Amino acid sequence: MNHIVDCMEIENYVNSITVQAHENAEVTVHNNTALEMIGKGVHGAVFQVNEGVCVKVYGEEDVCSRELYALNLGQHTDLFPKVFCSGAKYIAMEMVYGIDLREYLQSQPLTKNLSVKLIHLLTTYKEIGLERIDHHKRHIFVQEDGNLKVLDVGTTVWRNRVYPYPRKLLNSLGNQYQEMFLEHVKELAPTLYDEWQKYIQMEKYATVLHEKYFSKENFKLKKLKKEEKILLTGKKEWDSKVEDLVRKVHKEQWIKALTARGVDIEHVKANAKELEREYIYGKDKKDKKGSSLSNKEDKKKTRIYTSSSKKKKQKK
């Protein structure tokens, strides 16, 4: 295979290619070279230089640095393409052949062997210090010899959203293969399987909790408007309601005042009208009964009515 790399030549090519990045869409490309574009994504466009070499041209410098950093972490493994040369916005790397896992699984079974290779891939990721030990199946390539290689590794470093289990890989496998892969892990690495299961369970709880606490307010405004009308007393009733309210407050207050002085509440209830009058106007001279507030005895000390004293009174 032609692995001859002329970095000067590649730099010249790159100078004749412009790649523009966009927020949420694939890059747009102007290619003034004879190189064939073999693929593009959100971050860059990839051109084949020769049988063994391609160059990925990026829209943004920091994305290029990030991928170069990640690729360099794994150069001693056989997982990543070899890097030949690089510039601010390009990386010349080894051509990766084979078919990606998404396509592969459409016609081939997920064997135990392949699952072991995936576990090995995750292990290598962790060992070389990638933060996200995870990959979408379309970036994993099955080689002719059955080994795996990965592309588009920039997203595995400098991340803040990292999951403690290979969430992306599992989700990308789809229900059927996910189950099969997990079955293999359960059999071959049971402790790891248990830990993943716990994380998956916790993630489900977290989702449910989130939905519970942050779900959209689901009341109906029209219905509430009707209810509001039912609860309003309205202008017509305003005067009478206010008058009533003042009366209630007054009653509550004078009863409170009397009971605070030690007057028995039952006595107050039984003689409410007289006591209220006395409370407002002072002692009523016409009142001959002993229920006044300020009879002769009361002048010396407040008379205490209790339920027992009331009974004694009744006996007399």
Ligand X SMILES: Nc1ncnc2c1ncn2[C@@H]1O[C@H](COP(=O)(O)OP(=O)(O)O)[C@@H](O)[C@H]1O
Question: Is residue 39 close enough to count as binding Mg ion by CB under 5 A?
Answer: no
Q: Which is nearer to ligand X, 93 or 263 (CB)?
A: 93
> How would you write the chain as a 3-class SS string?
CCCCCCHHHHHHHHHCEEEECCCCCCCEEEECCCCEEEEECCCEEEEEEECCEEEEEECCHHHHHHHHHHHHHCCCCCCCCCEEEEECCEEEEECCCCEEHHHHHHHCCCCHHHHHHHHHHHHHHHHHCCCCCCCCHHHEEECCCCCEEECCCHHHCCCCCCCCCCHHHHHHHHHHHHHHHHHHHHHHCHHHHHHHHHHHHHHHHHHHHHHHHHCCCCCCHHHHHHHHHHHCCCHHHHHHHHHHHHHHHHHHHHHHHHHHCCCCHHHHHHCHHHHHHHHHHCCCCCCCCCCCCCCHHHHHCCCCCCHHHHHHHHHC
Q: Which parts of 85-104 interact with ligand X (CB under 6 A)?
A: 93, 95-96
Question: Is residue 29 close enough to count as binding ligand X by CB under 6 A?
Answer: no
Shortest CB 70 distance to ligand X, Å: 11
Question: Is residue 246 close enough to count as binding ligand X by CB under 6 A?
Answer: no
Find the binder of Mg ion among 41, 83, 112, 310 (CB under 5 A).
Answer: 41
Shortest CB 112 distance to ligand X, Å: 27
Q: Which is nearer to ligand X, 59 or 166 (CB)?
A: 59
Question: Is residue 46 close enough to count as binding ligand X by CB under 6 A?
Answer: yes
Find the binder of ligand X among 5, 14, 43, 86 (CB under 6 A).
Answer: 43
Residue 137 binds which entry of Mg ion, ligand X, none, with Cβ cut-offs from 5 to 8 Å by kind?
none
Question: Is residue 39 close enough to count as binding ligand X by CB under 6 A?
Answer: yes
| Interface with Mg ion (CB under 5 A) | 41, 152
Q: Which positions lie near ligand X, rule CB under 6 A? A: 38-44, 46, 54, 56, 81, 93, 95-96, 151-152
